[in-house]
Amino acid sequence: MKLWDKGFATDSKIEKFTVGKDRELDLLLAPYDILGTMAHITMLCKVGLLEDGELRQLLPELEALHAKALAGEFVIEEGIEDIHSQVEFLLTRKLGDLGKKVHTGRSRNDQVLLDLKLFSRAGIEGIVGKVKELFAVLQARSEECKDILMPGYTHLQVAMPSSFGLWFGAYAESLCNDLEVLLGAWKVTNRNPLGSAAGYGSSAPLDRTLTTSLLGFDGLDYNVVYAQMSRGKTERIVASALASVAETLGRLAFDCCLFNSQNFGFVKLPDALTTGSSIMPHKKNPDVFELIRAHCNRIAAAPEQIRSICANLPSGYFRDMQLVKEIYLPLFEELGDCLDIASFAIGEMQVSKDLMSDSRYALSFSVEEVNRRVGEGVPFRDAYRQVGQEIQERRFSFKGRLNHTHEGSIGNLCNAEIATRFAALESSFGFDAVHKACDILKKMY
């Protein structure tokens, strides 16, 4: 079945190539396509294009299909082109000609636009939840290890004293900025394209404001040409936000790989979280972090892949957009899995508690000694030269105490302030309002 069927057959080779992976990927969109249809036909009834009795027949059938899709039991049958065709086919098989009315005023173009927006909203919410879990783990580890010192590095050279509290806390705060970027992507996503049809609107008296309200969108993509142009652009913006999270996670994974090596020995994974070698019996490899790093590098490449498909297209719809789904739809699960396993591994990771007693890190206290002398009245530049001379002559030692008190330093991590910022950002998404609107829609009849 094809929604565009005109009574002639398409060559099987052409059909296979043009359908591509749509039937497989569209199963991910099934709950959202059905929900969008529920909103659309509710609006059609309001504007007089469906009778109330017809709506009362259609909505329960769609609600049952929606539950089936959420349970992972929805199937696109052989010979059915995509999710849009399958839903209409099932309604028509059950309700006869009434099922053929649900496409009034729509195109598959605005259907898939809507499906992708709804899918993205759910995906962003899921990622925010997993980011929140990792943030909590990092903050807990930061507080737990705030008094355990470790060397800090610049240029991979020993630089100044740091702490595990500072290190864990740095990645927690990085997730705050990633959440800010996700919030921007959410705002772009949470606008309704339904009613733009094939990109030029419809002569049907559609009420686009009503479907916006029914689906819990913040507002409309008003201009119908732009609504169609937003396909690809929206996915790239969301993918860029996911890539921001992936960048933080990948960098953390690299640190963990480096710090877990014998040459550093800063952290250690429990044996159960490592893998081995088929030839070297002593090996305990941090494959979990290496794979996180690789996955995150792949996610980081996705925005550019999407841009390369869409960058040279004029206004209007083109089938090129179909390939974007293959890149975009799997990103949420891939990043979500990385966040889950990172939260687990970071929570189980052990830290070394007496690193700074090692003579290799003695020079990391040079700035502390400079500042100690400045506190006694020595001009900074003179104190710097004195300590430098002592280092050259191999007679440097630091006998003082670390005393970092300013905001965000070893002695004042500001974890509570960072947590407050994270909570404020999380609440700005307004997920509850979306759930409320969609729950009302599903229970209208």
Q: Catalytic residues, which ones? A: 155, 277
The residues that bridge with 362 in the sheet, in sequence order, are none
> Do 189 and 47 share a structural domain?
no
> Do 364 and 427 share a structural domain?
no
Region 88-117: mean pLDDT is 95
Number of domains in the chain: 3
- Report pLDDT for 3: 52
In a domain, 4, yes or no: no
- Report pLDDT for 4: 45
Residue type, 72: G
Residue 172 has pLDDT above 50, yes or no: yes
How would you label 201-223 residue by residue, b for 16+ Cβ within 10 Å and e otherwise?
Answer: bbeeebebebbbbbbbbeebbee
> Do 207 and 65 share a structural domain?
no
> Do 318 and 424 share a structural domain?
yes
> Mean of the per-residue pLDDT values for the chain?
93
Beta strands at 219-220 and 191-192: parallel, antiparallel or unpaired: parallel
pTM attached to this predicted model: 0.93
In a domain, 322, yes or no: yes
In a domain, 444, yes or no: no
Say what percent of the chain tops pLDDT 90.
Answer: 84
Residue 45 has pLDDT above 80, yes or no: yes
> Do 337 and 262 share a structural domain?
yes
In a domain, 53, yes or no: yes
In a domain, 364, yes or no: yes
In a domain, 442, yes or no: no
> Do 204 and 92 share a structural domain?
no
E strands in 339-418: 350-351
In a domain, 210, yes or no: yes
Task: Tell me which of 69, 101, 133 is where a domain ends.
Answer: 101
* Segment 325-335, tens digit of pLDDT: 999 999 999 99
> Do 184 and 135 share a structural domain?
yes
> Do 167 and 141 share a structural domain?
yes
Residue 314 has pLDDT above 50, yes or no: yes
Residue type, 254: F
> Do 398 and 264 share a structural domain?
no
Domain span at residue 85 reads 12-101
> Do 191 and 89 share a structural domain?
no
In a domain, 391, yes or no: yes
> Do 193 and 223 share a structural domain?
yes
> Do 168 and 74 share a structural domain?
no
